[in-house]
Structure 1
Amino acid sequence: MKEYIMVFKNTHDAIGTEKFIKNKGLNIMVMPTPTYITQSCGICIRFNDEVLSNIEGDLDKEINFKNIYLINQAGLTIYK
């Protein structure tokens, strides 16, 4: 199962997204944004590909995010 990190421009967007996704009954983890991702909000959301498939239609409409990164063996790769 693939894992992703969604980063935000500000804490307001991060908390709003957390509520939005949890209201859909999906499991996510809120965590500190990795320090090597600069110029982002201090918190991010980690989730798997099941969550991504359930929110993809909401991206750019209901969810205000900066980037989504795919977590892989080499580190992080920008997904969107």
Structure 2
Amino acid sequence: MGQQVVREGQYLAVFNSTHRVLKAEGLLKSSGLAIMLIPAPRAVQADCGLAIRFDEEQHDTVMQLLSEQNLLPAFLCQLRNDTYITIREYQHENH
């Protein structure tokens, strides 16, 4: 269990609801992307406690697919020098 869940340079798409994160996971996996649903690290404030982890090379594809399906995360962060940096926050209507 010594392996780090998130490696340097990887992104975390952090969602505000379990429903949205599971829907996004299904979309991305059905598109053939090697993403992983993980527990959100303590350093990242997540309402639902889950995040989607993906590599830097997948950034544009992942974000394009999520945008097209109106499934953008609450925010996107990246692990840099052992610190989670928020790259962008997204606004959603809560229904």
User: Would the TM-score normalized by the shorter structure come out above 0.5?
Assistant: yes
State whether structure 2 residue 23 is matched by structure 1 residue 23.
Answer: no
Alpha-carbon distance in 2 for matches of 1:3, 1:39: 17
Q: CA deviation at 1:39?
A: 4.5
Alpha-carbon distance in 1 for matches of 2:65, 2:36: 19
State whether structure 2 residue 82 is matched by structure 1 residue 71.
Answer: no
Q: What percent identity do the matched residue pairs reach? A: 25
Alpha-carbon distance in 2 for matches of 1:60, 1:32: 22
**What is the identity, as a one-letter code, of the residue corresponding to 2:22?**
I
Using CA pairs under 8 Å that are at least 6 residues apart, name the structure with larger relative contact order, 1 or 2: 1
The more displaced of 7-16 and 60-69 is 60-69
List runs of 5+ in structure 2 lacking aligned partners. 1-7, 89-95
- Match of 1:12? 19
Cα pair 2:17 2:48 within 8 Å, conserved? yes
Q: Deviations over 1:16-35 (max 9, x none)?
A: 01001001101011111112
Mark the structure with the bigger radius of gyration: 2
TM-score (norm 1): 0.84
- Match of 2:56? 49
Cα pair 2:14 2:73 within 8 Å, conserved? yes
Q: CA deviation at 1:74?
A: 4.2
Cα pair 1:33 1:40 within 8 Å, conserved? no
CA-based RMSD: 1.8
Alpha-carbon distance in 2 for matches of 1:15, 1:67: 16
Alpha-carbon distance in 1 for matches of 2:67, 2:30: 18
